[in-house]
Amino acid sequence: MMKNYNPVSAQDYLPRELLKQIQLQRLQKIVAHEYEHVPVYRERMDERGVKPEHIKTLKDIALLPFMMKKDLRDTYPFGLFAMEMSDVVRLHASSGTTGKPIVVGYSKEDIDVWVSCMMRALVAAGVGPGDIIQNSYGYGLFTGGLGAHYGIENLGATVVPTSGGNTERQVMLMRDFGVTGITCTPTYFIHLCEKALQMGLDVRDFPIRVGLFGAEPWTEEMRKRIEGLSGVEAFDIYGLSEMSGPGVGIECECHSGLHIFEDHFYPEIIDPDTCEVLPDGEEGELVFTTISKYAMPMIRYRTRDITHIIDEPCACGRTIRRIARISRRSDDMFIVRGVNVFPSQVESALLAVEGSLPHYRILLTRRPDGLDNMTVEVEISGGFDKIKTLEELQAKFSHSVERILGIHAVIKMVPPNTIPRSEGKARRVFDNRMNPTNQ
């Protein structure tokens, strides 16, 4: 119990009743603040006849309207800000690959809360003073880099702010500095390990022992690959810019779901179709309310992430609830021949086959007759001189994918290092169905 205990994590262990009282007080305060300062949201509450004083219990949160990514775009750039710019000390923005970027703002106190959550996440992963943490999340408008940076620094560990890119140099620094932990996307870490091998180095021989991996969904199969390749203990960290950034939740040493820092981020699970709140344990869309963030509160923000809440006590002793690992995001889902497919399902299917490397991509095309084709490219390791063996491997991939997805995919096995590597979030799906020139 309470392994890795550090006072910064005291809020992880509050008695549940006390935690609920804190949540209610913070919720009431933030709703009043939002109602007073954000006209767009006040109008929506008024339309529903809801006033801040109607929030008498935590359950009353269901009275409040939802927020969605679209709201952030529609009010670009500052329409959802609830404080004067003179009180806002930092802005972040998404890359904005689809239309306008989304902008988020923080007061000094908001930053403090964010940093404290990131510190608690690091502690849960066993990080503390004396650790040297390489932070390979991109620095800049993306919340990953600075979010992790200040958490590491304020915890008293040593941060190496490498940001993304220049991978050979990252390998060299990792070895020379005796780095003990890393924060980056799981994809980038694999790339880093492979780069080390190309340089004649093996990350398993380095002192590094822990990795906090996030900013993209990844699977248990991928965890096994990462741990085998590097010898580090891999922790799934969850966050999103709309909440603050990295450090909304993290796995503890039990690796059985992610603890949510619910004294700051109040979680709900809803049925994405009816928007009804579901009981703990039922799978649905994750919805968060930032109950401590004042520059730009997000009330009942629909994350598009599919998971369920685990309310059983965790063996680590933390009382904050967990969510199951997020391997499915509504945003990533695509439909092929009427079947809903998540990239993580393809990942599980491919990595379950021996001989696969953890690099793949999914190409969607439309045939002239209107039927969709899904081609899955996967890198394979060596060990073959017979065509028969390769064809058997291809058949194994094909069966594995078909068993999990229920539809046929064309499997294209490619040599190592063929699929472009990403230095940030991996792009897995290339949908050319609406783009006939690319077929």
Q: Which residue has the tokens 């890359």?
A: 95
Which residue in 100, 79, 9 sits closest to 37, CA to CA? Answer: 79
Instruction: CB nearer to other proteins: give 95 or 389.
Output: 389
**From 21-29, 76-84, 118-126, 411-419, span contacting other proteins (CB under 8 A):** 411-419
Residues numbered 17-46 forming contacts with other proteins, rule: CB under 8 A: none
- If binding is defined by CB under 8 A, does position 165 make contact with other proteins? no
Q: What interhelical angle do 220-230 and 186-198 show, nearest 10?
A: 30
Exactly one of 73, 412, 421, 427 binds other proteins (CB under 8 A); that residue is: 412
Neighbouring-strand partners of residue 431: 364
- Contact predicate 346/411, CB 8 Å: no
- If binding is defined by CB under 8 A, does position 413 make contact with other proteins? yes
* Minimum distance, C-beta of residue 357 to other proteins, in the bound complex (Å): 9
Instruction: CB nearer to other proteins: give 418 or 422.
Output: 418
- If binding is defined by CB under 8 A, does position 392 make contact with other proteins? no
- If binding is defined by CB under 8 A, does position 98 make contact with other proteins? no
**From 194-202, 221-229, 256-264, 282-290, span contacting other proteins (CB under 8 A):** 194-202
- If binding is defined by CB under 8 A, does position 383 make contact with other proteins? yes
**Cα 78 from Cα 57, distance rounded (Å):** 30
* Minimum distance, C-beta of residue 176 to other proteins, in the bound complex (Å): 22
Token pair in block for residue 306:
């599919």
For residue 96, is it left (φ>0), alpha (ψ between -120 and 50) or beta? Answer: left
Give Cα separations from 137 to 142, 211, 236 (angstroms): 9, 12, 14
Q: What interhelical angle do 167-176 and 186-198 show, nearest 10?
A: 80
Residues numbered 196-215 forming contacts with other proteins, rule: CB under 8 A: 198, 200
- Contact predicate 244/303, CB 8 Å: no
Instruction: Return the SS3 of 307.
Output: strand
Q: Which residue has the tokens 């999340």?
A: 137
| DSSP 8-state class, residue 205 | G
Binding mask 343-382 for other proteins (x = CB under 8 A): -------------------------------------xxx
* Minimum distance, C-beta of residue 411 to other proteins, in the bound complex (Å): 9
- Contact predicate 206/174, CB 8 Å: yes
Exactly one of 368, 387, 434, 437 binds other proteins (CB under 8 A); that residue is: 387
* Minimum distance, C-beta of residue 200 to other proteins, in the bound complex (Å): 8
Binding mask 417-436 for other proteins (x = CB under 8 A): xx------------------
Contacting positions for other proteins (CB under 8 A): 194, 198, 200, 380-388, 390-391, 412-418
